Structure 1
Amino acid sequence: MKFNRRAFIGTAAATAGTLAAPTFARADGHGKPRVVVVGGGAGGATAARYIAKDSNGEIDVTLIEPTRAYYTCFFSNLYLGGFREIDSLGHSYGTLASTGINVVHDWATGVDRDAKTVTTAGGYTIPYDRLILSPGIDFVDGAVAGWDVSAQNAMPHAYKAGSQTELLKSQIEAMPAGGTYAMVAPPNPFRCPPGPYERISMVAHLLKEINPTAKILIADPKENFSKQGLFEEGWNKHYAGMIERVGPDFGGADVEVDPAAMTLSIDGDVNNVDVCNVIPAMKAGKIADIAGITEGNWAPVNAADLSSKMDENIHVLGDACAQGDMPKSGFSANSQAKVCANAVRGALTGSTVFPARFANTCWSLIDTNDGVKVGATYEATDEKIAKVDGFISETGESSDVRQATYEESVGWYDGITADMFG
């Protein structure tokens, strides 16, 4: 299927508006059903929008999101490569607010599952009948020896888009001639966009233009990775001799960094580097832990409606959930959000609930107009969200096919962001 803005969202018109003041429903059970959504990314914004839009005012929807402008992780690698401006990744919540959603720019800091309330750093206590958590990722403490979030300015992760992405690009542009950009790649499972290997491609593209003798070093704990054959073909074609990947067989799983000295040690071998992009192991955003619905690093959910296996009144979307076969991508979160919104609306108003169906595509840009993709469709089973069938770009494709794939991804970006934010 070819994606473009119209195909993705249909003919719904986007409107502009200003943020509504919070007007929370009463906590005594009277009035309209209340849905609180925490996290305004691909999962949360989509869920809030679809519940508000399809319920025709029958449900009170509150969206809690600390940032006033949301920068998408997907396509942030293209900013690093020089294919997009940072402003093109930023989106506001004004249109969502204009449709009647209470948009609260605050941090959710507590969940009382017995009282069915969410508390915020700003002092709100917000009641809910259903709670949807889509908080994205946090990092596992101690995942990379020598690194924690206090070192993120010296060695950025750039896995939460915005200022971190801008910082990483500025560091790359400031590298000395012939310098070294290093990446500590994450173990599975990890947030897919901004995928590490697309990032390597985009950094290589930028360096080829501004610093052609620079080198790229990847310390990778994984034996293999998604679209590996496609990336390696592209690296050999476009960036021959620039990129070295050290996998677990050669110590890629045994790494340590020193942000003060700007060194990366791989299996005891110390490398002086000029930029070090550390992407640690990941886990569900902190509010999922606070709510007490995680098991290990992620929040297990039921496939049919993304409800927590620990609390039927809480649903978890996107990167934070353990749901089965879907990758942790923006497309996946958006797809899950629509299923969840339909189920929540049905539970609260008695409207029709349709069988759960899911889809995902992950695009990657390797070089100018050299786009590749992988994707699948999924269904809900008793055990998990299960893959039904899938597709992937082939090695050796023509330049016309690769350009069409890239153009398809641009249409999808326009479509999904309109679907999220209106």
Structure 2
Amino acid sequence: MTGWTRRQICGLAGGTLMAAAAPHVARGQSQPRVVVIGGGIGGATVARYLAGLKTLDVTLIEPNPNHVTCFFSNLYLAGLRSLASLTFDFEALAERHDVAVIQKAATAINPASKTVELQSGERLAYDRLVVSPGIAFKFGEIGGYDEATAEIMPHAWNAGAQSQVLRRQLETMEDGGVFVIAAPPNPFRCPPAPYERASLVAYYFKQFKPKSKILILDAKDTFSGQELFQDAWSRHYPGMIEWLPAQFIGKIEAVDARSCTVMTENETFKAAVANVIPAQKAGSIAERAGLADSTGWCPVDPATFESTLQPGIHVVGDAIIGGDMPKSAFSANSQAKACAFAVAASLTGSPRFPPHLFNSCYTFLAPDDAFTNAIIFAPEGGGIKTVKMFISKVGESAEVRRRTAHQAVGWYSAFTADVFG
């Protein structure tokens, strides 16, 4: 799984997707109806690519008028990007790509009648359904941490209002305070993100609150990109960030919002600002529709992303059991494209493409220091396995890391344009 460069992997990804974007689709007398639930990265990508085939009637159900990307939201917390720069509406999907966008919540799915019920009471019929529900939080697993407490101790794991709350708290925190991050157990959305958050908040502290500290209370004993992060912390923020693994602190058991404390099995930690990130599961509609199994996540066919529990319904994005694929935005986008062509093949008789699955992402350690990965995956043995991989290494030059940080900005623009049009 070594020996490949990022350029080789990304070149393969780009060429494959361009080839897949123009399939020869058989045109029928009427257009089959595809309904997509969820306007995040996975859902918006599916809707755009299915509508682009011009042979399907595609409807996207999303209650929010816009989507704020979770990726790059840590830059917002550090004061390096505006929230507006991370916010996308669905106008291009509707106007340029002919996706019917319904700004209402989907409350129920009836697989027998092939209908989706909306919060308004309306029912929408489908021939195929794609669900991209994102994540929900297991609030009951940390004592005292529920949806109301999350307004005081924000998780900021859905970007937007929660991100604004956390940023205000960091801005008003006195210099010399402790910012506590309670990192969740696996699996969770974007494995490097809690540690990127620590890095970028440390950058903010270094500029404006240099006496402050960051304490990471981890539910795990290791984490994604650990060597890269710890190397960067020693170079950029010596003595500012402390990581405490589960083997030292025990389980994160409870919080007290009034005193801003986090309790573990072995110790109680007082914070000036506490960022508690709960354990996660598939979005709630997946559970209600019988798409999630006992793990809380959704098992799917890795070639088509059709649910193994509810035939005729496909699931993409963070909610699935993705094998080696991380719960990331680019993974969701890649899965969504594979799913779109599988749905088209089932409804129109268009050619069936083997799934080409990729992940590519950038992680910031400082404004001019970022690392990257590019990974190819393939279905294998009923799951998804890594085939080829490129990942940044400890010891890269400052110039390489500066270029990577610069490339990340272009990657973000191109990626979001691909998703939202």
AA of the residue aligned to 1:149: E
Q: 1:193 to 1:227 in 2, by over 3 A?
A: closer
Where do 1:303-314 residues align within 5 Å? 303-314=302-313
> C-alpha separation between the residues in 1 aligned to 2:264 and 2:209?
25
Where do 1:114-153 residues align within 5 Å? 114-153=112-151
> C-alpha separation between the residues in 1 aligned to 2:224 and 2:381?
27
Report the alpha carbon displacement of residue 31 of structure 1 after superposing the two structures with TM: 4.4
> What are the superposed Cα offsets for residues 85-120 of structure 1, whole Å, 9 maximum, x if unpaired?
110000010010112211011111000010010011
> C-alpha separation between the residues in 2 aligned to 1:404 and 1:31?
50
Where do 1:300-379 residues align within 5 Å? 300-379=299-378
Does the CA-based 8 Å contact 1:363-1:371 persist in structure 2? yes
Report the alpha carbon displacement of residue 368 of structure 1 after superposing the two structures with TM: 2.1
> What are the superposed Cα offsets for residues 134-174 of structure 1, whole Å, 9 maximum, x if unpaired?
01000013122220111111100100011111111110111
Does the CA-based 8 Å contact 2:116-2:123 persist in structure 1? yes
Report the alpha carbon displacement of residue 403 of structure 1 after superposing the two structures with TM: 1.2
> C-alpha separation between the residues in 2 aligned to 1:135 and 1:125?
18
Does the CA-based 8 Å contact 2:192-2:225 persist in structure 1? no
Report the alpha carbon displacement of residue 132 of structure 1 after superposing the two structures with TM: 0.5
> C-alpha separation between the residues in 1 aligned to 2:338 and 2:189?
20
AA of the residue aligned to 2:306: S
Q: 1:271 to 1:141 in 2, by over 3 A?
A: closer
> What are the superposed Cα offsets for residues 29-66 of structure 1, whole Å, 9 maximum, x if unpaired?
x9421101011111000000000002x1x211110111
Matched, 1:105 2:100: no
> What are the superposed Cα offsets for residues 64-98 of structure 1, whole Å, 9 maximum, x if unpaired?
11110110001101111222111000001001011
Q: Which residue matches 2:66?
A: 69
Q: Which residue matches 2:3?
A: none
Q: Which residue matches 1:79?
A: 76
Q: Which residue matches 2:177?
A: 179
Report the alpha carbon displacement of residue 268 of structure 1 after superposing the two structures with TM: 4.1
> What are the superposed Cα offsets for residues 229-284 of structure 1, whole Å, 9 maximum, x if unpaired?
00000011111111111111111423321012211123342222111101000000
> C-alpha separation between the residues in 1 aligned to 2:256 and 2:139?
16
AA of the residue aligned to 2:78: G
Report the secondary structure of 1:234's partner residue.
helix
Which of 87, 95, 105 is the matching residue for 1:90?
A: 87
Matched, 1:388 2:383: no
Does the CA-based 8 Å contact 2:290-2:310 persist in structure 1? no
Does the CA-based 8 Å contact 1:231-1:366 persist in structure 2? yes
> C-alpha separation between the residues in 1 aligned to 2:289 and 2:189?
21
Does the CA-based 8 Å contact 2:77-2:201 persist in structure 1? yes
Does the CA-based 8 Å contact 1:223-1:248 persist in structure 2? yes
Q: Which residue matches 1:52?
A: 51
AA of the residue aligned to 1:231: F
Report the secondary structure of 1:417's partner residue.
helix
Q: Which residue matches 1:19?
A: none
Report the RMSD for the aligned CA atoms in angstroms. 1.8
Report the secondary structure of 2:301's partner residue.
coil
Q: Which residue matches 1:224?
A: 222
> What are the superposed Cα offsets for residues 301-360 of structure 1, whole Å, 9 maximum, x if unpaired?
000010000122000001001131100000000000000000101111111111111010
Gapped runs of 5+ residues in structure 1? 11-29
> C-alpha separation between the residues in 1 aligned to 2:334 and 2:291?
22
Does the CA-based 8 Å contact 1:303-1:382 persist in structure 2? no
Instruction: Give the TM-score normalised by structure 2.
Output: 0.92
Q: Which residue matches 2:413?
A: 414
AA of the residue aligned to 1:96: L
AA of the residue aligned to 1:85: S
AA of the residue aligned to 2:65: R
Matched, 1:397 2:396: yes
Does the CA-based 8 Å contact 2:62-2:104 persist in structure 1? yes
Q: Which residue matches 1:259?
A: 257
Report the alpha carbon displacement of residue 409 of structure 1 after superposing the two structures with TM: 1.7
Report the alpha carbon displacement of residue 194 of structure 1 after superposing the two structures with TM: 7.4
Instruction: Give the TM-score normalised by structure 1.
Output: 0.91
Does the CA-based 8 Å contact 1:70-1:92 persist in structure 2? yes
Q: Which residue matches 2:245?
A: 247
